[in-house]
Each structure stands twice: as structure tokens, then as C-alpha cells.
A = this chain, B = another copy of it.
């Protein structure tokens, strides 16, 4: 997760909301890593998790990431939680909760919705304070501009 925090800091450095994500395989090898690029790319879907999932699929040449774990500094939104389910990722570790848009416990429970054809284990709270402070100081800085 500390590597994810570093990725989030890289996002903040270029004016992006500081969220970082990475995907590892069952051997602990990093398959992909990404941070938010919405403003830089002007693409609405360019969230850290979605980019990391797309890169992992391309890197492994398969859409099922059933042996992978996704780490991310902020609770996934509806889009990213949906993407995690579609990619059959069995385990997600996230740092801070997102009470406004989080779909993995805050507003909804997309990752462990028994009506869907895949469910995902969730670990939360790892580096939560660090991620939260990073996000808060980013938005505070941005309001000052």
C-alpha cells in the first residue's frame, strides 16, 4: 500500500486527485500500477483502478484476473467496483473510505453483492490515515487556487 500512496502523490504532483492503485499476482509480483489521469487525459473513466485493471489484462493477455489482488488508496466508486467484479478479482485492499462515492461499503456493497456472479474479499483501513490526509490536503490546496 505504501507504493500506492507514492502513486497517489505522483497524481497530486500533476494536479490529479491523489489516488493510486496497483495489482499483484499470487506470487506478489506487481502486474500493473496506475494513478488518476482524468484531467491529464480528459477522459472521465481514467481512474487509477480502471487503468490498472486494463493494463493487467493487457499484460497477462486475459480478462480474468482471478489470481490477483488490487490495492488502492481510496474506496472504489461504482465504475471501479463494477470493473473489479467483471475482472473476477478475488481480493481488494483499500485505504480510506469514500463516504460520497464509495461503492464498497459506503454507498453500496458492489464487491460483495450475492446477486452478482462474482464476489470479492475486502480488506480496508491499511494506510487509511495517510491516504485521507493526502486527499484532504489536495482539496484544501485546490480551493486556495
Contact = CB atoms under 8 A, between A and B. Distances in A.
Contacts of A67: none
Contacts of A100: 115, 117
Contact of A44 (B43, B53, B78): B53
Interface in A41-79: 41-47, 50, 53-54, 57-58, 61-65, 77-79
A110 interface: yes
Interface of A: 38-39, 41-47, 50, 53-54, 57-58, 61-65, 77-83, 85-88, 100-101, 103, 107-108, 110, 113, 115-117
13 contacts: A39-B63, A41-B57, A42-B58, A44-B57, A45-B53, A45-B87, A77-B82, A78-B79, A78-B82, A79-B82, A79-B85, A80-B82, A100-B117
